[in-house]
Amino acid sequence: MTLNRRQFIGTTATMAAVLSAPMVRAQGKPRVVVVGGGAGGATAARYIAKGSKGAIDVTLIEPTRKYYTCFFSNLYLGGFKEIEDIGHTYGGLAAGGVNVVHDWAVGVDRDAKTVALAGGGSLPYDKLILSPGIDFVEGAVEGWGLSAQNAMPHAYKAGSQSELLKAQLVAMPAGGTFAMVAPPNPYRCPPGPYERVSMVAHFLKQNNPTAKIIVADPKPKFSKMALFQEGWANHYEGMIDWIGDDFGGGTVSVDPNEMTISIDGEVTKVDVCNVIPAMKAGRIAEIAGVTDGNWAPVNAADMSTKADADVYVLGDASSQGDMPKSGFSANSQAKVCANAVRGALTGSKVFPAKFSNTCWSLIAPDDGVKVGATYEATPEKIAKVDGFISQTGESSDLRKATYEESEGWYTGITTDMLG
């Protein structure tokens, strides 16, 4: 064939772009390995595959074949969702060009640039994106450990733990006691424990109206506190006893064999005990050597770690500044990261980092509230630009619209993550 002038210019321009790309390899395509298929990892994998149109090899390592979203898992506890409503497979990502490997990443060799898999073998990478979510700090709640998580579920990684907590809730004796040990800052989903209290209260109000809820909290205040407390007084009067730091809520131990909780020395027998311990970055971040303390410090402009420019950490596991640890935040960070990674590997345009977050919470049927903010990258951190929060005393119409909006968001973000 003969090229016309326009095609010829186009071809040269493309070649020039390729030649100027900083990371083009002599053989094969550049490789990105993503560890963790949640809101951060799945989004990053999808956006890199989609944006590069096949120019980058993207592999996602995710042990589970079905992903249950932590967001909306409280609505499952409250009876607003079935467990399958919050379960998603990875077929959409695979169809979108992402090589999905169901395995555990158990090692990272940052010199050789490889990730070791539990099933044997290893994957080479040019850029590694870790989005492992959270693990729990050992010994954070006296008497509790992973061996006790069947007696006292955390239900803070959705799936079987959510189903277990729901089953325990259903089996509670009439007039029984549900206890929650709330986590210290920083932790995944700041309003999450309190939305959960609301959803448990809703379930009990319908099914076990004389039951009680005790919350032991090491914090003096919490996310959307005024909104939750207003809602609890309106919908669940006398049911919820929140014990904050001032009243010894931080001095807690549990005994999973006796099913007791000790709060500030006072021991109470309970029927269900939901222990949400202090959190840290998912283990693989620590194994990779990119953490400092419990979290992985990252650069705000592209989510690369302070420890290694070719290793990125997204979402809950990162220490980035002002953004809350939420699925929305992880999804937002993933897009900034994907844009930067594509730019580094193929020379595509890199645009300035913009981040945003909104967290919806359901307090009672058709009583939704939200809090959100926008963020920008500064040399020091991801810094808040502007924000808003639902107000106490809002009309029931507005609260209903807010809840309906959260339903729309759920469909939006899960499609955005998984295709």
Q: Catalog residues that contact other proteins under the rule CB under 8 A.
A: 47, 328, 331-332, 335, 339, 349, 351, 354, 356, 358, 370, 372-374, 385-388, 397-398, 400-401, 404-409, 411-413, 415-416
- How many alpha carbons lie under 13 Å from residue 80 in its C-beta half-sphere? 25
Token pair of 138 as six digits:
């050992």
Q: Is 261 left (phi over 0), alpha (psi -120 to 50) or beta?
A: beta
177/331 with CB nearer other proteins? 331
Which is it for the CA torsion 216, 217, 223, 225, positive or negative?
Answer: positive
136/403 with CB nearer other proteins? 403
Minimum CB separation of residue 402 from other proteins in Å reads: 9
Minimum CB separation of residue 294 from other proteins in Å reads: 27
DSSP SS3 for 46: helix
* CB neighbour list of residue 202: distance below 8 Å, 6 or more residues apart: 78, 79, 235, 236, 364, 365
Tell me 303's DSSP state.
-
Instruction: At 151, give phi and psi (nearest 5°).
Output: -75, -40
Instruction: Report CA-CA distances (Å) from 25 to 19, 28, 106, 125, 378.
Output: 10, 7, 27, 12, 31
Minimum CB separation of residue 336 from other proteins in Å reads: 9
DSSP SS3 for 97: coil
Cα 221–Cα 225–Cα 231 angle in degrees, nearest 5:
145
**Taking a C-beta distance cutoff of 8 angstroms, is the pair 103, 63 a contact?**
yes
215/336 with CB nearer other proteins? 336
Residue 49's identity, in one-letter code, is A
Residue 192's identity, in one-letter code, is G
110/354 with CB nearer other proteins? 354
Task: Give the 3-state secondary structure of 242-288.
Answer: EECHHHCCCCEEEECCCCEEEECCEEEECCEEEECCCEEECHHHHHC
Alpha-carbon span 1 to 105, nearest angstrom: 48
8/351 with CB nearer other proteins? 351
The arrangement of strands across the sheet holding 260-263 comes to 252-255, 260-263, 266-269
Minimum CB separation of residue 357 from other proteins in Å reads: 9
Minimum CB separation of residue 242 from other proteins in Å reads: 27
Minimum CB separation of residue 387 from other proteins in Å reads: 7
Task: State the CB neighbour count (10 A cutoff) for residue 28.
Answer: 8
**Taking a C-beta distance cutoff of 8 angstroms, is the pair 214, 178 a contact?**
yes
Minimum CB separation of residue 229 from other proteins in Å reads: 21
Minimum CB separation of residue 274 from other proteins in Å reads: 29
8/388 with CB nearer other proteins? 388
DSSP SS3 for 30: coil
Minimum CB separation of residue 407 from other proteins in Å reads: 4
299/331 with CB nearer other proteins? 331
84/404 with CB nearer other proteins? 404
Minimum CB separation of residue 307 from other proteins in Å reads: 27
Minimum CB separation of residue 416 from other proteins in Å reads: 5
The arrangement of strands across the sheet holding 354-364 comes to 354-364, 367-377, 382-389
148/364 with CB nearer other proteins? 364
219/342 with CB nearer other proteins? 342
48/240 with CB nearer other proteins? 48
